[in-house]
Structure 1
Amino acid sequence: MPQILEPHPPCIVLGLETQIGLGLVRELGRAGVTVIGIAYDPDAIGLSSRYLARKLVITQPRSPELIAAIVALGEELGPCCLIAVSEVNMGWLAQNRHAFGRVRPVVPTPETLAMVLDKQRTLQAAREVGIAVPETAEPTSMAEAEALAARFHFPAVLKWKDPNAIARKLGQAGLELLKAEYVYTPAEFLAVAARYQPVGEWPMVQAYCPGTGLGQFFYMHKGQAVRRFQHLRVAEWPPEGGFSSVCDAVPLDQHADLQEQSIALLRHIGWEGVAMVEYRWDPATGRTVLMEINGRYWGSFPLAVQCGAGFGVISYALESGLDMPVLPPVRWGQRCRMVSTELKRLVRICLQPGKIVDRTFQVRPLAEVWRFVRDFFRPGVGYYVWNAGDPQPFYTDVKNLLRKVVRR
């Protein structure tokens, strides 16, 4: 891990409730950066990290109280940067970027962020640079949905083009925000489409793409990719596809041409800063298809921290006016796990296979249990939350999980 030499300003991290914010705190703290953490939840796991120099809990998200607290930090500490984790926080910071006094949020422009959050616009940009994308349609009425059902090649996955924007409307209609729904026939699609008729908006319809999640990660600075990293998903939650519960670091000599395409896409949309370009890769055919861009730190970020990728340190240094840090080579062959999510996944696979909505998913309970156990003894395995040098967040996480169980 590179050391940031004195003198240097502190860094504020907003969003300590998940392993992502915790990973940022650990990476920056180990590099010698003074880290101030802000959380909305007093039980946020990141608040327990030994690498926090100071912690604040602001229970009203994205509020005038939070703005005032950030401005006060800037007055006390001097010019410094603020790194946020979630897309919702980033959008709020981008819209209010001039309201924080001497604190500079590390966010893209509102226009660039809006483009990345809109999956349809992202897919169109990908087409323009020659990246394969799934067959995709977006009905705007029930009549269009009925016409689409007659011509689309099912099976398909239904996704909202901007989940953050639709969540409130769905809630007001008493509907759950589902990240992905699988439909296998026109009739199944029309049944789902009818459910959303009271909202007056419908999810994108995307052709099902077999394969495994392949994530490519970049730090873009003045149009150049100054750091690269990539991982392959070993296990996901939910099992049929979602976010990584286990992932492996993949050497950069693999999928090299695809990396260049990803960089071309980020340049095309004018992206600056950290980004994840996510694909579905089918090892049987070698075909890769773009799923989305995440213009933020990603859920499996602890793997990048474990491997020494240094994305948080790069962001801090460049946004603080320091030189590009000299980074050690990335450590490959590493695996990272979120054991609590793995256990939930095993319960679904072994005891509730009927709840797995992707009918093509191969249910192999014995193989899944064996891999789960074997990984505890595999060299080079790290964990999303547990770290022997900073154990308290793990204990806080266990306490929070037990509290949820008792409440249920």
Structure 2
Amino acid sequence: MSKSLPGAIVLGLDSAIGLTIIRELGGHGVAVHGVGRGAGAIGAASRYCTSATERPKGAIADWLPGLIAATGARALLATSETDLMELAALPQTIDGCHILTPRSAQLEQVIDKGRTLAVAASVGLLVPQTWQPAEGDDFAARAADLLYPLVAKWARPPQAIALLEQAGLEWIKAEYVRTPDQLLALLERYRPIGRWPLIQQYCGGVGLGQMLYMEEGQATLRFQHRRLHEWPPEGGVSTLCQAEPLQRHRSQMASSEQLLRALRWDGPAMVEYRYEAESGRYWLMEVNGRFWGSLPLAWHCGACFAWESYRRVVLGERDPAPLPRGDLRARYMIPETKRLARLLLARDRIGDPFFRARPLADLAGYFLAFLDPRMRYYVFLWRDPGPWLRDMVQGFRKALRRERR
């Protein structure tokens, strides 16, 4: 398709998420102008990236109007939570460019996991037992009453990371706690900053993500997938995921739409659950209010969330989006390889005490997956090989630097 549609700016050329947005928009004929952290950003190597700019220093508000004027872009999309927070404070439209990111009131509700869970409980979703420790709480009494095992994770990660760095404390995305004594020791570690992570009941099952594009309280595009592998293995970035047909989990998809409606959400979001097939229970984990890590699988299946944002807001289209496929898988090769290495060589470093490693089965599955006709990849694409080649070169250089050190 010829590039005849109004241009778009994408903040975030450095990840597979930003690369997917570029491929989505560029494949539909949009001239994409990318902004990356450095000259080696993988998205800049894509055939669908019309131009790439190294990110200027300073606040987004200082340099964005100039970039809009230089490119003539009529839409802006972003991938990182910190960028979304900055953009939320800016006008919805700047010099004719639509800022296709959540507004402050929406973003605050999903960044704060405690607030998200409270809204979810109010609309009838199943949420894990949760406690947000605060100054003045009787830690010992609360620790004795909770249901173990537990997971500790920060309710507002961007703020927590800054506080921890100032205090010289390590940022840990999730910690697993099996006894009251372990919990009290964890809470004492953070007493110097007067802030504590959210303490949540551990939920078993598999990760189920339901993605929706919301407009005026209604979903116009839906997609869902199961997480099969993550990096690190106990929970993190999805490295192998599988699409789920929309015929499955239909009642839960309706509940996800109801939750986003209660949050007054507009635009794309992923509602994340732990799904226990044996009991049929769906435990809500969080709402991801930005483009998610497994976005490449959605795109491969024809669920184009960036394009849905663009076509509805910029072009004013209202026709229904095509139904996506529900039979593909996708994997993120570098983190998937790291995961396999940990299972084979360093299982003692896996933080989740309930994780069950199957190193031989995973080793066989890693290589057999190359023969799977349903398999797609986060970065590699035959018709757009530049990002994969750049990713491989950068990975090789990093390995050389580690070896020299």
Report the TM-score range of the alignment, normalised by the length of the smaller protein. Answer: over 0.9
Aligned twin of 1:28: 25
Identity percentage of aligned residues: 42
Gaps of 5+ in 2: none
CA distance in 2, matches of 1:325, 1:12: 24
Aligned twin of 1:214: 208
Q: How does 1:8-407 map to 2 (within 5 A)?
A: 8-60=5-57, 63-64=58-59, 66-78=60-72, 80-97=74-91, 100-141=94-135, 143-324=137-318, 327-407=321-401
CA distance in 2, matches of 1:320, 1:194: 51
Instruction: Give 1:67 shift.
Output: 3.8
Instruction: Give 1:100 shift.
Output: 4.0
Instruction: Give 1:103 shift.
Output: 2.3
CA distance in 2, matches of 1:51, 1:222: 31
Sort the Cα spacing of 1:44 and 1:79 in 2 relative to 1 into closer, same or farther, 3 A. Answer: closer
Post-superposition CA distance 1:294-337 (Å, at most 9, x none): 01110010001111111111111112143136643312210000
Does the 8 Å CA contact 1:385/1:394 hold for their aligned counterparts? yes
Instruction: Give 1:142 shift.
Output: 7.1
Sort the Cα spacing of 1:123 and 1:176 in 2 relative to 1 into closer, same or farther, 3 A. Answer: same
CA distance in 1, matches of 2:310, 2:337: 35
CA distance in 2, matches of 1:142, 1:78: 54
Q: Secondary structure at the match of 1:10?
A: strand
TM (norm. structure 2) is 0.95
CA distance in 2, matches of 1:226, 1:299: 21
Sort the Cα spacing of 1:325 and 1:88 in 2 relative to 1 into closer, same or farther, 3 A. Answer: farther
Instruction: Give 1:41 shift.
Output: 2.2
Post-superposition CA distance 1:100-126 (Å, at most 9, x none): 433221122201101110000000000
2:175 is aligned with what amino acid? Answer: E
Q: Secondary structure at the match of 1:20?
A: helix
1:74 is aligned with what amino acid? Answer: I
Instruction: Give 1:253 shift.
Output: 0.5
2:358 is aligned with what amino acid? Answer: R
Sort the Cα spacing of 1:218 and 1:245 in 2 relative to 1 into closer, same or farther, 3 A. Answer: same
Post-superposition CA distance 1:11-53 (Å, at most 9, x none): 1111111000000000111111111111122211111111011
Which is worse superposed, 129-138 or 326-335? 326-335
Does the 8 Å CA contact 1:70/1:103 hold for their aligned counterparts? no
Instruction: Give 1:186 shift.
Output: 0.6
CA distance in 1, matches of 2:19, 2:4: 24
Post-superposition CA distance 1:203-261 (Å, at most 9, x none): 01100000110000000011110000000011111112222110000000000000000
CA distance in 2, matches of 1:310, 1:49: 18
- Which 4+ residue blocks in structure 1 deviate beyond 6 angstroms? none
Does the 8 Å CA contact 2:220/2:321 hold for their aligned counterparts? no
Gaps of 5+ in 1: none
Does the 8 Å CA contact 1:314/1:324 hold for their aligned counterparts? no
Aligned pair count reads: 402
The alignment's C-alpha RMSD in Å is: 1.7
Post-superposition CA distance 1:174-229 (Å, at most 9, x none): 11211110010011111111111111100011000001100000000111100000
1:22 is aligned with what amino acid? Answer: L
CA distance in 1, matches of 2:345, 2:138: 39
Sort the Cα spacing of 1:402 and 1:149 in 2 relative to 1 into closer, same or farther, 3 A. Answer: same
Sort the Cα spacing of 1:177 and 1:212 in 2 relative to 1 into closer, same or farther, 3 A. Answer: same
Sort the Cα spacing of 1:98 and 1:108 in 2 relative to 1 into closer, same or farther, 3 A. Answer: closer
Instruction: Give 1:79 shift.
Output: 5.9
